[in-house]
């Protein structure tokens, strides 16, 4: 099950909102599709990300995938642990495998994201 407190997009990425700080990551479905993650490229703390634009990549044995920002803002946290130990994306995508934390300029971009229930429905439709 996908955690109910998160927001999800069609690229199988999630956003965890705490005040105006948003944590980005990839979903359990994404890590399953990718297979074993071998490399993660993330921006530096203090840099800025733009909603809908790529901020890094996740490389697996199968593919290299861009990861896109759910909100625009300043990067206030980078999970260097996941860069050193990329398999955390496979073992704990919603916990230790988070990617970056962004101080959001505007949270309204999250309104277009899906709830956990909507995301489950999206996944079910995608499989058919």
Domain containing 63 — which CATH number? 2.40.50.100
Residue 120 inside a domain? The answer is no
Residue 2 inside a domain? The answer is no
Q: What is the full per-residue pLDDT of the chain (128 aa) written as tens digits? A: 799 999 999 999 999 999 999 999 999 999 999 999 999 999 999 999 999 999 999 999 999 999 999 999 999 999 999 999 999 999 999 999 999 999 999 999 999 999 999 999 999 998 77
Phi, psi for residue 108 in degrees, rounded to 5: -65, -25
Residue 42 inside a domain? The answer is yes
User: pTM for this one?
Assistant: 0.95
- CB-CB contact of 88 with 82 (8 Å): yes
């Amino acid at each position: 099950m996908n955690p109910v407190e998160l927001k999800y997009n069609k690229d199988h990425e999630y956003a965890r909102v705490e005040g105006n700080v948003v944590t980005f990551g990839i979903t359990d479905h994404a890590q399953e599709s990718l297979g074993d993650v071998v490399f993660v490229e993330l921006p530096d703390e203090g840099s800025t990300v733009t909603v809908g634009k790529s901020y890094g990549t996740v490389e697996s044995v199968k593919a290299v995938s861009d990861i896109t920002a759910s909100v625009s803002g300043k990067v206030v946290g980078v999970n260097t642990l996941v860069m050193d130990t990329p398999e955390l994306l496979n073992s704990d995508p919603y916990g230790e495998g988070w990617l970056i934390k962004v101080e959001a300029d505007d949270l309204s971009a999250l309104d277009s994201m899906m709830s956990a229930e909507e995301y489950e429905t999206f996944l079910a439709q995608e499989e058919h």
